[in-house]
Amino acid sequence: MNFYIIIPAHNEEDSIALTLDSLVNQTLQPKRIVVVNDHSTDNTQHIVEKLTESHSFISLVNNNSSDKHLPGAKIVNAFYKGFETLDQDYDVICKFDADLIFPKNYLEQLAIHFKNDKTLGMAAGFCYIKKNEDWVLENLTRKDHIRGALKAYKKQCFEAIGQLKSSIGWDTVDELLAKYYNWTILTDESLHVKHLKPTGISYNKDSKHSQGEALYKMRYGILLTAITALKMTLKKRSLSLFNDYIKGYFKAKKEKLDFLVSEAEGQFIRNLRWKGIFEKFR
């Protein structure tokens, strides 16, 4: 299978070489790797340029994006800068972060999964972070969700969902739409990916409000948004989170922001979420 990989990178001089080295040495080598140097002020560009000299399938795209805080949209916009440089001769398109170290059989194992299940639209392993001298499963991991750090889409699924949404919530709505279009999602617990920069557990005010905005854009409705906000409040043990989610939701509603999904897709998403809630109560 032909794997095309796009890696948005902003000031990743400490990790980008390790990420690329782990991909270059895969048992199933990717056909193309595009690193999008997104407004870096460190040595990221130079490191990638040196690697392109010895690996013809690695290319670099420099992108001078805004310094404005754009949760979700910034990284997806960078992804598309790389995607625009690729042809259509791929079976699987990947959006990977620039701070990951993949096991050598990672792509080969994904290829096996995709070949064995014609309905499989998205697949990934799990992120592990270093704690003392051990690598432990990152606490944000869920078996029914693929982290935004390591997305891999079968071409037909990627096209069916309308590719990636340039918005906060892109890495949730992609899975929901995949299910809407009858694609399945798989996480492989045997594939341990080292995550060198663990996802932060704290968010600034804009990000918190953006989470509520994302739920509005996915047509959750206020009740499901409130339940989601309450769940996150309990998980993070922060009472202010609930208020931030709700404020973000109503702010998006007042501004009449564009939805990420159609009415029919939104109805499917709500039904899916309610089904999940009722199953947990059982």
**170-192 per-position pLDDT tens digit:** 999 999 999 999 999 999 999 99
Mean pLDDT on 196-213: 69
Retrieve residue 232's tokens: 């996150």
Angle between helices 205-217 and 170-180 (to 10 degrees): 20
Mean pLDDT on 188-199: 91
Q: Is the pLDDT of residue 203 over 90?
A: no
Mean pLDDT on 4-14: 96
Q: Is the pLDDT of residue 65 over 80?
A: no
Report pLDDT for 133.
87
% residues pLDDT > 70 (the chain): 94
Q: Are 11 and 41 in contact (CB under 8 A)?
A: yes
pLDDT band at 68 (very low <50, low <70, confident <90, very high): low
Query: Can you give the pTM of this predicted structure?
Result: 0.92
What is the dihedral sign for C-alpha 39, 215, 206, 124? negative
Q: Is the pLDDT of residue 201 over 50?
A: no
On average, the pLDDT of the chain sits at 92
